[in-house]
Chains A and B, each alone.
Chain A
Amino acid sequence: MLVPVVLGTATLTFLLMHLSPGDPARTYLGEHATPEAIAALRQQWGLDQPLLIQYLHFLRDLVTGELGQSMFFHEPIADLLATRLPPTLLLMLMSALLSLIIAVPLAAWSAVRNSGLSDTLVRTFTAVFQGTPIFFVATVFIVLFGIRLKIFPVAGYGNTPWEHVVSLFLPSLALALGIVPVLMRSLRTALIDALNSEYVSFARAKGLLHRTVWLHYALRNASISGLSVLSIQVSYLAGGTLVVENVFAIPGMGTFLMKGILNRDFPIVQASALVFALLVILVYLLTDVAYKLLDPRVRLK
């Protein structure tokens, strides 16, 4: 399962870049370049070779961790990516945490008050936030908390770990709000199911504390479906970093990819898209492990 998908994503990025209509060498050198110069550059980049040979070279480089050279920065992409990855990872982690911090209490509240009103509120909240573009939320946050109230920095990543966290708070929140509705809604359904279940009745019949029933019986069971929803949403979070990083000018993977696009730097676009995909696959793998920890029924099969 894993190997074909990783290989497939690599192949897809390769094909995308090599089957695209434009010639990277021509794009790179500009419209006034001589045919000789273009041909020379094509040779330098190996673009004159048959596609299959290029593909095999690409795979060989990939296995050795060689992601090619940036056309624009004249630096190995692997080195560039190494500095770009941490802010993006922190951003994703913080927004996943924030989305849980927001979604779990809301889901719990609305599950306990399982009435028409809470249902309408949840639906409205979901519908409104799902349709709000992340970049708009991000802009509102910058203007409100950054410029007007001056609580958080307007942009950047800071230098110390604490500054990183503070700088990424608003971006993470903007990103988190994108997945809170989905998360809250599915958690709410799972919690209502759990609360109506016989095992919760059994727990109550044992005279357990309200808190214990909630934590060890209701929430513990609901967290399983919550986790699967969160893992699906990680792909959204990864994509969202592309948006918020560019609005908040965070030097991460998202701004890197965008820079590659604006500079028409094919190798960078190719490498960052691939790294994004690998990141998502990695998270799926981690969720699988977490899943097994949470659900004994999966563990033993």
Chain B
Amino acid sequence: MTALSPFESRTSSSGVLRKMLRNNPQLLFGLLIVGVILLMAICAPLLTSYDPTEQDFLSTLQGPSADHLLGTDNLGRDLWARLLYGARVDLFLASVAVVLPFIIGSTIGALCGYFGGWFDTIVMRIADIVVAFPFYVLVISLVFILGNGVSSIIVAISIISWVAYARIIRAEAMVLSATNFMDALHVGGLGVPRIIFRHLMPNVLSQAIVYAMSDIVANIGVIVTLSYFGLGIVPPTPDWGNMMSEGQPFFAGGIYTLMLIPAVAVIVTSYGLSLIGDGLATALRVKR
């Protein structure tokens, strides 16, 4: 009676996953990189015995040694420990700041695409206004208004990022609701919310998921930038951004590691996420 959604395949999902990974070295490599970094962040207390905020003025600015894997900073704090605990903060923030707008934006977009009319017009006008502001300008202004800290970063990013998801889902939903697929569901007697969440969403989510990967990269960028300017994660809580900010004077002075180590962490993590995004795009056949 009801049309079969293209995503409701009959093959087992684990089999599909295995096949997807075998044919997709990018995805595999990306998952490997991000997986290792995530694991390191989660297991931070097991991988180091140092407190990332503990200062030791007797051993400042040391090079890598058996005691301090990556050496110490100008306050004698262990860089390896700071890197691991910083990963926890940044990756957690970046992920939450994707999940939230993802959910909000997708829902709004699906509603817009499905209902159209004045609701759609108003929401899309608001979206136009939000994206008229340069991302960094609006985020920094919002964090300034909301105050420093984790929650205001998440709120600030969410206020802006929902737009992209809403637009992606809306466009797809409009195409879908114009096709017979939706009519078939209607005839089948399904209620509107059920249609939206059970059938429309799975169909259009693949694009949004691919976009989410580049969004996490962008979030990491803006989070470390905020912290670099002293507007994000405030010291002593370690974060890759404030580590780079604190390391910058030494970078200019010839001691490169303090800034370079967190920078490499940011770049490698982003690289891994981009690979996953690319790989997913190939696997899900999403046009980028």
Contacts and interface: CB of A to CB of B under 8 A. Distances in A.
Contact of A9 (B129, B142, B244, B251): B129
Given A8-B129, A136-B244, A143-B251, A130 B137 contact: no
B100 interface: no
Contact of B278 (A127, A128, A143, A272): A127
Interface in A231-265: 235-236, 238-240, 242-243, 246, 257-258, 261
A296 interface: no
A127 B270 contact: yes
A261 B147 CA distance: 11
A261 B229 CA distance: 11
Given A134-B225, A139-B259, A273-B133, A261 B144 contact: yes
Contact of A4 (B125, B136, B217, B225): B125
A139 B134 CA distance: 22
Interface string B264-279: 0011011101110010
B158 interface: no
Interface stretch (A13-21, A62-70, A94-102): A13-21
B220 interface: yes
Contacts of A128: 267, 270-271
A131 B131 contact: no
A118 B221 CA distance: 27
A242 B217 contact: no
Given A131-B270, A135-B225, A143-B251, A17 B145 contact: yes
Contact of A239 (B137, B214, B269): B137
B140 interface: yes
Interface in B237-283: 241, 244, 248, 251-252, 259, 263, 266-267, 269-271, 273-275, 278
A269 interface: yes
Contact of A131 (B129, B133, B146, B269): B269
A281 interface: yes
Interface string B141-161: 110111100000000000000
Contacts of B44: none
Contacts of B244: 133, 135-136
B266 A5 contact: no
Interface in B212-240: 214, 217, 220-221, 224-225, 228-229, 231
Contacts of B278: 123, 127
Interface string A1-32: 00011001101100011001110000000000
Contacts of B26: 123
A144 to B, nearest CB: 10
Contact of A12 (B129, B241, B259, B269): B129
Contacts of B129: 5, 8-9, 11-12
Interface string A51-73: 00000000000000000000000
Size band of the interface chain A makes with B = 35 or more
B3 interface: no
Contacts of A12: 129-130, 133
Contacts of B241: 133
A246 B229 contact: yes
Given A133-B221, A143-B252, A242 B274 contact: no
Contacts of A126: 274
Contacts of B137: 238-239, 242, 257, 272-273, 276-277
B140 A131 contact: no
Contacts of A201: none
Contacts of A269: 141, 144
B17 interface: no
A244 to B, nearest CB: 11
B136 A243 contact: yes
Interface in B85-129: 125-126, 128-129
Interface in A269-292: 269, 272-273, 276-277, 280-281
A155 to B, nearest CB: 11
B134 A261 contact: no
Given A8-B125, A123-B278, A269-B141, A131 B266 contact: yes
B249 to A, nearest CB: 10
B134 A280 contact: yes
Contact of B133 (A11, A142, A246, A277): A277
B28 interface: no
A143 B256 CA distance: 10
B145 A20 contact: yes
Interface in A200-249: 235-236, 238-240, 242-243, 246
A134 B130 CA distance: 23
A16 to B, nearest CB: 6
A34 interface: no
B145 A16 contact: yes
Interface of B: 26, 125-126, 128-138, 140-142, 144-147, 214, 217, 220-221, 224-225, 228-229, 231, 241, 244, 248, 251-252, 259, 263, 266-267, 269-271, 273-275, 278
Given A12-B133, A240-B134, 14 more contacts: A4-B125, A8-B126, A126-B274, A127-B274, A128-B270, A130-B214, A130-B217, A131-B217, A131-B266, A139-B248, A272-B137, A273-B133, A273-B138, A277-B134
10 contacts: A5-B132, A8-B129, A123-B278, A128-B267, A135-B225, A139-B252, A243-B225, A269-B144, A276-B133, A280-B134
